[in-house]
Structure 1
């Protein structure tokens, strides 16, 4: 009987694991009327590339193509209601982990990009600074380091 229960339990675990995706890819999206300004900001300030775009949708990728971010015009007739309301400019942020935060900080300052949080070290281990995109989204550019405490 114990052997039968063990076999059933093993089959159940294998079945659950077989249904769980092994790989997931996240693509965050923002609904905004500022598609043009957003494209300009991410491609010139952060060196993102354009993966795809049409008249109502913009899909960007990080310089190393490891992550994507999308933008969608509000109230587009091709989209269902849950994807039509525009972002209100509050309550969202992005964190971009980089290896060379000091270099990027200097590069953006030299381009005249407004720095919202100056480059600094945090006791919990972040060396970072922050900027804001055209939609009001805070972007934290960070290099993770060892905590000082």
Structure 2
């Protein structure tokens, strides 16, 4: 079984630019109303769909309202990724920090308002 989460958004071009230029994702497939992206190592995908597209049934037409969704991206060296994104001028929603349960992470937002938690997991002490 393979999971691909999808977000319905008007901001397909801004989303593509953010994920490919800032997050180094690649484009798996794209047409005028749909964008399928993959992580740099191609282990996971996420899709974005234009709202109210005539090819789609009503269940896939309402746009995401900007709240209530987050993504977690697990990386091997969160400090390195943090520095890369800081150097690109990405605004941090949560500065890099250690949590008592073992996460070292920081958070940013994508153009749709989706919180992205970027984390390296370690065992709590």
TM-score range relative to shorter protein: over 0.9
Q: Deviations over 1:75-95 (max 9, x none)?
A: 000000000000000000000
Runs of 4+ in 1 over 4 A off after TM superposition: none
Q: Give the count of matched residue pairs.
A: 125
Structure 2 residue aligned with 1:76: 53
Asked whether 1:40 is paired with 2:9, we answer no
Q: Matches of 1:100 and 1:124 in 2, distance apart?
A: 17
Asked which structure has the greater RCO (Cα within 8 Å, sep 6+), the reply is 2
Structure 2 residue aligned with 1:102: 79
Q: Deviations over 1:92-141 (max 9, x none)?
A: 00000000110000010011000100000000010000000000000000
TM-score computed with the length of structure 2 as normaliser: 0.99
Q: Which protein is bigger by CA-based radius of gyration?
A: 1
Structure number having the greater helix percentage: 1
Structure number having the greater strand percentage: 2
**What runs of 5+ residues in structure 1 fail to find an aligned partner?**
1-23
Asked whether 1:59 is paired with 2:12, we answer no
